[in-house]
Structure 1
Amino acid sequence: MNAGAPAAALRRTGWERVDRYLTRDRLVVYPAVVVVLFLVVWFISLPLRFPLPDFLSRWTAGRLVLDGRAAELYDPAVQSAVQLDLGATALSWFVSPPYVAALLVAFGGMPYAVAAVVWTLATLVLLWVTVRSLVALHPAFAALDGWRGLLLAGSCQAVLELVGAGQDSALVLAALVVGARLLADGRDPWAGLVLSVALVKPQLAWLVPVVLLARGAWTALGGFVAGALALLTVSLVVLGPQSWARWVETLGSPLYRTEVVGGQTEKNATLQGLVEHLVPGSGWPATALWLMGFAVLAVVAVRHRDRLAGMTLPVLLVTAVPLTTVLMTPHAMVYDLVVVLPAVVWLLAERPSPRLRGLAAVGYLLLFLSPLIQLVVLAVPSLAVLSAPWVVVVLVLLWRELGSPAVPLVLSGRTEGEQRVG
């Protein structure tokens, strides 16, 4: 008798037990409760914090450029002074590349309250465009064509934080998905150009040109390079070449290492974030470069394997690429995990099993509980290990599943229709 058989059976039984709680009706109740709780906490906390705190840094950057103060763009003291005039009590530090600041000038010209509303509406529009593009891209995303699927995806902590904090990760997700859709339609130059928009967060887009190169998508790669050069040109014209030197200097500054790299490891949902949280001061630049190099090799190695798994290049760009990037990049916060949602949806449709549904549920729960866990750790610092970004372990297991062959639609006595949400 195989000694591993009882252990495997026990694991299967465990995942099947979890799966019993993931029924069609319960997958409406759970996210509805999460959304209601989020809205209640969000409204109660409004008097205690500045609205859309992450958007505040974007507005500040646009304001400084508009006022002709580009030379002071990355000075935290200058940014803090601008934000204090609005009533903010904590610095929201703008550290994005110079071309992002140039693109934010329009928002800096609006009163903050107006700009915040416009930003939020634009974010919601981008998310809607992303959903419609995904549904048109591949049948695996059909779950997002119904209100149940939208409710479940929209209740994910990554989406709630994205909208509630005023982050710009929705633009990265939209660029990847719309670019992939254009690629599927044979409009390669436009696809590459749209994909380059994801460079608003280069740490989430650096793998895209590598994949285009590995798959020989030369026209799309040309469009991507053209878009990148356009962004560079805009930054040089509006901010000057010195802005790039200041940006690089900022990323290497002790304050950045302390506040951004070391000070937010519990929210950094990458392998580097997990390592840095468990082993503080482990030498993040060298580790990050090693992980990024490994990712490049992994993409090249999977060039043929992804075809065996039935992945076309457009599907690869919205599933394996963002999931690999998030794991291997130095910096990807909880709200950045919106870019991996298409990979989760695709896996649940194409590789359905109690184990995968259970993994997705565990990741969902870990993200939902993360703010509460952080509050507990603030009260009891000795429990700091609990606040590590353990969702990374779930992402690694999901990443591994992306390369596995398709399996039959099974399980727990459900029909195919009952296994899918929507």
Structure 2
Amino acid sequence: MNAQVFDPIPQRNAVPPALFNVCFVLFVINAAFFPTAYVAHWWITDPSGLGIPTDFVNVWSAGKLVLDGHPAWAWDWDIQKRVQVDLLGQTFAGHFAWHYPPPFLFVAAFLAQFPYQVAFIGWAAASLVPYLVVMRAIVGRRFGWLLAAAFPVVLTNVLVGQNGFLTASLVGGMLILLPTRPVLSGICLGLLSYKPQYGLLFPVALIAASQWTVFFTAGIVASAMAAVSWLAFGTESWQAFFHWLPMFSQAFLTEGRAPWGKMQSIFALVRYFGGSEPLGWAFQWTMIAAIAMVLVLVWRSRVRYALKAAALATGTLLVTPYLFLYDLMVLAIAVAFLVRIGLGEGFRRTELPALGAMAFLLMFYPLFGAPTGLGATLIMAGLIARRCLVGRT
């Protein structure tokens, strides 16, 4: 693989006004929403002062169970809900289940040392920082800060207190460091093992590119995290994780406890339109096989590295059936790589309108209630494919 990470960007190429203006408007919306929502009690607490049920409650509650000396209880849906109801001061329908591997309990336990509101806001702010840094590094210009802050999923991720910023930071960090800092790249990938559903394509790409240092470093880091979490939280925590994982899969991928429109995968799209579970898996496995084969070809080719990186980030989202809107923060990494190429040699005629369509699908998901994020990801895949097929290599 070419040792050079990126083609240099000619400084004479200005950011297209349409791209800058749209990003600026989206940034203002994101920046203005949360102070307004907090004061108006649309975010974190309601007008009665009670906690608003949302995803972050399972992180804080899992951490509280760790601090109370019962880490294995974090995976028990009923125990988790009792802690959450006590924390929020009100009950709610359904469950916010904890399904992460035990190493992520370190993050949860740290956050649970703080009051809930402080932890919620602090988590969003702290995880935002590496995401902004990675996006700036990929784009290679100060415009990277604006592009990162303008990405439509930023609002969703912060609103529910999810980990999309962290995931995007690790994926982007792994990709930007891979050609020149393989050990650091492997560390990023090893840390990403807290989201095991992302673990399918990275080994495929690394093996195809003979990136053995990254491959083995990631394995060592992931194994070390598992070992340390076993020492910290005991065998019972790993037993609980593996015991509850099939139940979680049954609830969300078979029974549809979360509406199918909330998940952004081809599997969910089939189920959304009334298709059976076997049909959904048939589409999903076909997607997995196709993306894996394409990525092997791309990563073994002479295509420029930025396109390989964008393809891997995009493909990672397409191959997992369990994917919510906040997970599409990773799509920002693919967008950043494409924008870097566009700023260097000019955007193709259809690229900026296509990026606008992606932003529309991500922003207005609540109006459709359908897996529009899958549409945005497929648009990104199409843009990358076109560059790979007819672009300069």
Q: TM-score, normalised by structure 2?
A: 0.81
Look up the match of 1:137: none
Residue correspondences, number: 362
Partner of 1:73 in structure 2? 74
| Equivalent residue, structure 2, for 1:316 | 308
Correspondence for 1:117? 121
Cα offsets for 1:33-82 (capped at 9, x unmatched): 46545654564313437368322211111111222213322111101111
Q: Which residue is equivalent to 1:303?
A: 299
1:105-127 per-position Cα deviation (integer Å, ceiling 9, x unaligned): 22223332332233123122222
Task: For 1:258 and 1:174, locate their aligned partners in 2 and report how far apart those are by CA, in whole Å.
Answer: 27
Cα-to-partner distance string for 1:304-334 (whole Å, 9 max, x where unaligned): 34x2x3126xx634x1112101011111211
* Pairing 1:191-210 to 2, within 5 Å after superposition: 191-210=185-204
Aligned-pair CA distance for 1:234: 2.3
Q: Give the gaps of 5 or more residues in structure 2.
A: 1-15
Query: Cα distance 1:251–1:28, how it changes in 2: closer, same or farther (>3 A)?
Result: same
* Separation in structure 1 between the aligned mates of residue 107 and residue 384 of structure 2, nearest angstrom: 35
Q: Which amino acid aligns with 2:380?
A: L
Within the alignment, does 1:343 sit opposite 2:334 as a pair? yes
1:238 to 1:261, Cα distance in 2 relative to 1, 3 A: farther
Supply the RMSD in Å over aligned alpha carbons: 3.0
Q: 1:285 deviation in Å?
A: 5.3
Structure 1 residues 190 and 127, CA gap change in structure 2 (3 angstroms): closer
Q: Pick closer, same or farther for the CA change 1:104–1:262 going to 2, 3 Å.
A: closer
Q: Matches of residues 72-91 of structure 1 in structure 2 within 5 Å?
A: 72-87=73-88, 88-90=90-92, 91=95
Q: Among residues 114, 135, 149, which one is paired with 1:154 in the alignment?
A: 149
Q: Within 5 Å, which residues of 2 pair with 1:98-109?
A: 98-109=102-113
Q: How much identity, in percent, do the aligned residues show?
A: 25
Q: Does 1:128 align with 2:132?
A: yes
SS at match of 2:353: helix
Inter-CA distance 81–408: structure 2 relative to 1 (3 Å threshold): closer
Q: Structure 1 CA distance, aligned partners of 2:73 and 2:155?
A: 32
1:103 Cα deviation after fit: 4.0
C-alpha separation in 2, matches of 1:83 and 1:280: 34
**Which structure has the greater CA radius of gyration?**
1
**Shift of residue 202, structure 1, vs aligned partner:** 1.7
- TM-score normalised by length of structure 1: 0.76
Alignment of 1:5-404 (within 5 A): 22=18, 24-25=20-21, 27-29=23-25, 31-33=27-29, 35-36=31-32, 40-41=36-37, 43-44=39-40, 45-46=42-43, 47-48=45-46, 50=51, 53-87=54-88, 88-90=90-92, 91-134=95-138, 141-142=139-140, 145-146=142-143, 150-185=145-180, 187-253=181-247, 256-257=251-252, 261-283=256-278, 284=280, 288-305=284-301, 307=302, 309-311=303-305, 316-317=308-309, 319-350=310-341, 352-371=347-366, 373=367, 386-404=368-386
Letter in 1 for 2:300: H
- Write the distance in 2 (CA, Å) between the matches of 1:157 and 1:52: 22
**Aligned-partner SS, 1:53:** coil
Deviation at residue 391 of structure 1 after TM alignment: 3.4
Aligned equivalents of 2:285 and 2:231: distance in 1?
A: 31
Distance across 2 between alignment mates of 1:103 and 1:296:
32
Q: Distance in 2 between matches of 1:253 and 1:95?
A: 10
Partners of 1:126 and 1:264 lie apart in 2 by 32
* C-alpha distance 261-293 of structure 1, shift in aligned 2 (>3 A): farther
Structure-2 change in CA distance of 1:114 and 1:231 (3 Å): same
